[in-house]
Structure formats: C-alpha cells, structure tokens
Amino acid sequence: MIINDFSTEKSILTKFLKELRSNTIQKDSMRFRRNLERIGEVLSYEMSKQLEYSKQDVETPLGIKEMDIQTEQPVLCSILRAGMPMHNGVLNYFDTAENCLISAYRKHHQHNKEEFDIVVEYIAAPSIEGKTIVMIDPMLASGASMYATYKALLKHGTPKAIHILSVIGSTQGIDFIKSKFPKNTTLWIATVDDTLNENGYIIPGLGDAGDLAYGNKL
C-alpha cells in the first residue's frame, strides 16, 4: 500500500482541519460539512494525478490546443452517514463518476460494550469489475469498517485499483488496512493521530463525524 499523509506538508488543509477539530467551530454543522467537502476536493485533486489520461485536441475560438485529458472515471464508494459530505466534495471533481453507497455500523456486544462487530446492512453499487474505486470515510479509526466495506464490495467485482480517502486516521487503523488490503491500494489522508482509545475513537481526533455533520442519533 502507498500512503500519502499530507500532514507532513504545509497547505490550506491545516485550516480546514483546525476548524473540524475545534470544539467551538465544529458546532456549526453546516461549516463542519463544508470543511469535510473541501478536504474531499483537495484529496481528489491529488488523487487525480494517478488516473488515466490521453492526448486530446481542444478547439478554442483562436486555434487548436493539445491537452492531457482525464479519460478514467472512478467509482466513488462512501460509508454512510459520515462519508456523505466528503463524498460530495469528491463528486464535485469527478462529476460523471458512478457511485456506491454502503451502510456500516458498530454492533456492540451485550456482554462487553467495548467490543463490537462491524455490520454492513445496505449496499447500492454498480459493477466494480476492472474499475478504479475510491473508498471515502472521514475517520479511519480501527480500520475495521473500511475492511468490512471492501469485502462487501467484492460481491460486485474485483477492482483494478483502490484509493482510500480519509481526513483523520489512527496509526493503528492505517497499519490494519495496510495488512488487509491488496498492494494496488493507495491511501490519501489529511492527517494521522497516534492514539486510539479503548472505545475505538481517535485521540485527539475530532469526535463523532456523523453526529457533528447531521445531528445526534439515538
């Protein structure tokens, strides 16, 4: 797996991340969603450099210009519900891409609330056979949700390449997916935090991205 960690660079991403993390600014749910969307756009731009292009002539009012034009449209796969704002940002850049939506949630064990399984209950996806897929989830905590989603996607075909887009990941989660995903996988992540607590949340992280984006759930 190739890992692109943008926290090693100075860029506008830092501003978006600060606002996502801030326990005062993040209370503005519309701004929180917009910052997830903007990070999705930035990561999409970087990822687009790895897709397929071909030479095409473009006719202007004054002549002809040969340009390298993207010819490959990936399949965008988001994990509900926290993935939706970021998905919109990626879709802003790959506006003719096919889309896949998947629900994945933690089902905690009755005898031990700190232990849980990842349950995938809903998937709406096109064929991914031989296609490039982009898996979108803002929080890469333990990596279990991402891996469960990937296994569910394989029922729709075997992709030729996999790109994972996340905002914040834990070192543990990245190590986990690195051990589970095939070699033709590339991770694009805005920043990495070292700690994962006993409940599987990233520390310092930013909290529950789904609740911050769409309100508390029961």
Whole-number Cα distances in Å, 45 to 40, 155, 160 = 9, 29, 20
CB atoms within 10 A of CB 115: 12
pTM of this prediction exceeds 0.85: yes
The structural domains of the chain, ordered by start, are 2-49+74-214 (3.40.50.2020)
pLDDT digits (tens, 9 = 90+) for 92-127: 999 999 999 998 766 655 666 556 667 778 889 999
Q: Specify the DSSP element, H or E, that contains 191.
A: strand 185-193
Closest CA to 143 of 111, 168, 114: 168
pLDDT digits (tens, 9 = 90+) for 140-153: 999 988 998 999 99
Mean pLDDT in residue range 29-56:
97
At 170, is the pLDDT very low, low, confident or very high (cuts 50, 70, 90)?
Answer: very high
Helix (H, G, I), strand (E, B) or coil at 80: strand
| Residue 40 CB contacts under 8 Å (≥ 6 apart), including other chains | 85, 86, 87, 88, 89, 90, 92, 136, 165
Measured on CA atoms in the order 186, 92, 205, 200, is the torsion positive or negative?
Answer: negative
**Which range, 98-112, 113-127, 160-174, 191-205, has the best average confidence (pLDDT)?**
160-174
pLDDT, mean over the chain: 92
How far apart are the C-alpha atoms of 151 and 116, rounded to whole Å?
18
Contact assessment for residue 69 and residue 76, using Cβ atoms and an 8 Å cutoff: no
